Structures are given as C-alpha cells and as structure tokens.
Amino acid sequence: MALDKIGIAKRIAQELNDGWYVNLGIGIPTLVANYVPAGIQVEFQSENGILGMGPFPFDGEEDADLINAGKQTVTLLDGASLFDSAMSFAMIRGQHVQLTVLGAMEVAENGDIANWKIPGKMVKGMGGAMDLVASAENIIVAMMHTNKKGESKILKRCSLPLTGVGCVKKIVTNLAVLEVTPEGFKLIERAPGVSVEEIQNATEGTLIVDGEIPEMKID
Amino acid sequence: MINKVVNNVQEALEGVEDGMTFMLGGFGLCGIPENSITELVRKKVKDLTCISNNAGVDDFGLGLLLHQRQIKKMVSSYVGENDEFERQMLSGELEVELIPQGTLAERCRAAGAGIPAFYTPAGYGTEVAEGKETREFDGKMYVLEKAFKPDFAFVKAWKGDTAGNLIFKGTARNFNPMMAMAGKITVAEVEELVPAGELDPNEIHTPGIFVQRIFEGKDYEKRIEQRTVRPKN
C-alpha cells in the first residue's frame, strides 16, 4: 500500500544522522521532527532564526514572537539559539546545515526541482528554498509521486519554473525511495506492497531498476 | 550620548514621500513595525516600493497598504498568505520582484555594510538569475546580486534606549537588524523605551549608530498567523 504523509515522514527520519543540523520545509517535511530515531541527536533549524526548535507550545503558552518558517507558534529546546535572517542564511549557504528536507511540485532526473510558481495561476514565492537547494550537501525531497490528476511529478525535465538546478540527490514519495544518478532515477526501495511496475507506471523520468528492490521498513 | 528619540510616530515619519523605497522588518506578522505601518496608511503616501520578506495578510501588516493601493512594487521572498496581493499581482496592478530569502537578507546587510554587490549560489539556473551576471568559483556557479538603496527603513524591536540601541525578542528579530543597517533614515519603534545606560551593552543586537529615530510604540496587536498548540496532557 502506498504510504501516507506520516509514512513518508517516518521513512525520511531514517535518513537522519547523529549530530546533524537539519532544516525542514513546510508540509510533510515538518512531520519528520516527530519521528527522530531513538539514540540520535539532531537540531532543527528554522530559517527565520532558530536553532534547536522544539514542538508546538502547550495551549495558552503560545508566543507571537516565537514562530517557525511556516509562521506556526513553536517552542525552544535547551541549547537553542536565536539569530537574524542574514546569520540564518550564512548557516545555510555556508553548509553548516547538513540536511535539507523540502517538498516539490516537480523533480527531474537531472536533479532539477520546481516548487515555487505556476505561471499565471499560483505565485507564492520561493521563500528560503532557492538558498537551501543551492547550498545543502544533502537534499531530500518529500512528495507524492503523482499529482491530483494522477500525472507523474517525477519527470525527465521540469516544466515549471525551477527552484534549483542539479541539486536533488534523494526523493521519498508515497510509492518509493529514489536516488538521482547520472543515468536517471535509481529505485532504492518500494513502499510496502507496491510493485516495481506500479512505480514504473507513475514515473515519467527514466527509472533504473537494478536487481531485487527491497520494501521500506516503516514502524 | 546622541539622543535619537522622537516624540511620536508622526515625527518619526517626517520626510516620507510618494515614490520612495522603504524597507519594513518582520517575518510573516512577527516583528513588523505596526505603528509605522498604521501611520503610512494614515498619510496615504503612494507609489511606494516596499522591501519586506512577506506582504502581510489581507487585513493586517502590509496588507493594509496594499488594500489602499499605496504600493507600486513589492520586493519579497514569499507572499502566499495574502489573497489581495496575489490578485493585484496576477492582474498586473502590482509590480512584484520575488527573490530568495537569503538573498533578500544579504542585499539588506550589504546595503548597510558598504558592499555594493555579492555573489550567491541561490537562484542560479532559475528565472531569478535572468539578466544578472554569473560567475564560477571553484567549480560552482554564482549569481551577482546588488545591495538595496532604501530611503527609509522601518524596524521593530522589543527594547530600545534613547541612544537608539536595540534588543529583539525571539524570532521577531528576523530582517530587522539588517534593515536597520540599510536605511538612509532608520526608524525604530520599540515596545519599551528606556534611558541610555539601562540596557546591558553586552546584549545589544543593533548598535544605535544604525538608528536615526526611535520611539515607543503603542497598542501592539502582535497577531499570530498560525496558532499551533498541543494539549497539556
């Protein structure tokens, strides 16, 4: 069965390494913070100026002066720090943040990503996404494999205005884990009960299937 | 001590004219100069270019200026929370320059730091880089981005003193310190204004040299855009 958003977040959480600073984008990526594996210490960076971001506040304890990049009220953990936006993006462009997880409308087999604009229809802006994808050593894209019409979002080439070029390394969708390689999308894992054929049918870009493809292990 | 105090918001905004370029601090509705925005709405200055990370919401923050059609051009990184903004942009009434958030922050900082331009990797290969110089350093491509040139910067701090020193709180700091550096005239409104000497010099975020006018603001609403909480048990 295809994963839901929580399943995608759980699978991405398995990619976290001890000691990493991690920036989570809005949407599915935010959920990753709830599933950090036991025994691993990571710190979450919010690009509006927090390191060591904690969970949502208890009801009644919310503070208008303490929000995350999605404008949601949050808390600080012990050891947290606060800083301005120039400092925040110095951390990001300076590659002090080890992992960026973000959503996408389209990803292409050359590692291009599009997630900020649909010409003539929707223009919300890129926020910090262009800085993040241009700089991060590790970028994981969290997304549904297809759009609401059932069309693939895993493409040969992006059709929407780009957020970054040649930057995506790994993609976790409701159907599969894919790695971006010079030859195309390499299928690494299947969602539980999802066949290689189903993944192939939902993938417009070149899919490389090498040998037996294991199922994801999700608790 | 050089005294930076003005009596009220009206005095703080003296010299503001149609067609000017303003910077306004804040991320979402967090740390926005509420009093200065209210006064800009009252003054009805128009044809403004506003540099601010976001454009407020429909009935608060910069949304109030948009509603009165006072803004000619917005320079922002994310504008998703404002329907009127999206409508004016898609219909072509409003000129919009969307730029990456880190580039926005650095263009503010550069403006205040005497750096005319800088190279950043953000936006290379995208429409953000169109018409801009690009250059390779150590095998990676970068885009040349220029410092802003604002007439006024409007910032909001938690505490300030009569010398113009500022301390911010929580994530209300965001763009305020860099914008304070950048303004030809920087107007700082603070929740609490204290005599010089009361703030610990070790804890000042923005030194008073960057602030031309300071006043204690009134009636802060500090609206929360996305109130997210968890139950107590």
* pLDDT > 80? residue A18: yes
Q: Give which of A58, A67, A162 to mutate to test B binding, by max B Cβ within 10 Å.
A: A67
B228 within domain boundaries: no
Q: What is the mean pLDDT of residues B196-219?
A: 98
Q: How far is the C-alpha of A48 from the C-alpha of B172, rounded, in Å?
A: 9
- Per-residue pLDDT, B171: 98
User: Which amino acid is residue A6, in one-letter code?
Assistant: I
Kindly state the percentage of chain A with pLDDT values over 70: 100
Provide DSSP, B95-139. EEEE--HHHHHHHHHHHHHT--EEEESTTTTSGGGTTS-EEEETT
* pLDDT > 90? residue B90: no
B139 touches chain A (CB under 8 A): no
* pLDDT > 80? residue B233: no
* pLDDT > 80? residue B73: yes
Q: Is residue A14 within 8 Å of A37, Cβ to Cβ? A: yes
B233 within domain boundaries: no
Q: Which of A15, A43, A47, A151 is catalytic?
A: A47
Please choose, from the candidates A65, A56, A63, A81, the residue with its C-alpha nearest in 3D space to the C-alpha of residue B169: A65
Residue A109 among the catalytic residues? no
> Across the interface, do B126 and A130 touch by the CB < 8 Å criterion?
yes
* pLDDT > 80? residue B52: yes
B223 within domain boundaries: no
B38 within domain boundaries: yes
- Per-residue pLDDT, A219: 82
* pLDDT > 90? residue A121: no
B226 within domain boundaries: no
Q: What's chain B's average pLDDT?
A: 96
* pLDDT > 90? residue A89: yes
- Per-residue pLDDT, A101: 97
B15: left (phi over 0), alpha (psi -120 to 50) or beta: left
CATH number at residue B65: 3.40.1080.10
Q: Is residue B53 within 8 Å of B101, Cβ to Cβ? A: yes
ipTM of the complex: 0.96
CA distance A145 to chain B (A): 23
Q: How far is the C-alpha of A2 from the C-alpha of A37, rounded, in Å?
A: 22
Which of A42-56, A90-104, A120-134 is predicted with the least confidence, judged by mean pLDDT? Answer: A120-134
* pLDDT > 90? residue A27: no
Q: How far is the C-alpha of A163 from the C-alpha of B123, rounded, in Å?
A: 7
> Across the interface, do B227 and A73 touch by the CB < 8 Å criterion?
yes
Residue B206 gets which letter from DSSP? B
Domain membership of residue B81 as a residue range: 9-215
Please choose, from the candidates A216, A218, A212, the residue with its C-alpha nearest in 3D space to the C-alpha of residue A189: A216
B232 within domain boundaries: no
Q: Indicate the number of domains in chain B.
A: 1
> What are the chain A neighbours of B60 within 8 Å (beta carbons)?
none
The helix/strand/coil state of B69 is coil
- Per-residue pLDDT, B70: 97
Q: How far is the C-alpha of A83 from the C-alpha of A19, rounded, in Å?
A: 20
* pLDDT > 90? residue A69: yes
User: Which amino acid is residue A131, in one-letter code?
Assistant: D
Q: What is the pTM of this model?
A: 0.96
pLDDT in tens, A158-182: 999 999 999 999 999 999 999 999 9
* pLDDT > 80? residue B108: yes
* pLDDT > 80? residue A76: yes
- Per-residue pLDDT, B81: 78
Residue B16 tokens read as 């503001």
- Per-residue pLDDT, A73: 96
C-beta neighbour count of B98 within 10 angstroms: 22
pLDDT in tens, B137-167: 999 999 999 999 999 999 999 999 999 999 9
CA distance B227 to chain A (A): 6
Q: How far is the C-alpha of B41 from the C-alpha of B64, rounded, in Å?
A: 7
B225 within domain boundaries: no
The helix/strand/coil state of B11 is helix
Q: How far is the C-alpha of A125 from the C-alpha of B52, rounded, in Å?
A: 13
- Per-residue pLDDT, B144: 98
Residue A126 tokens read as 């890129």
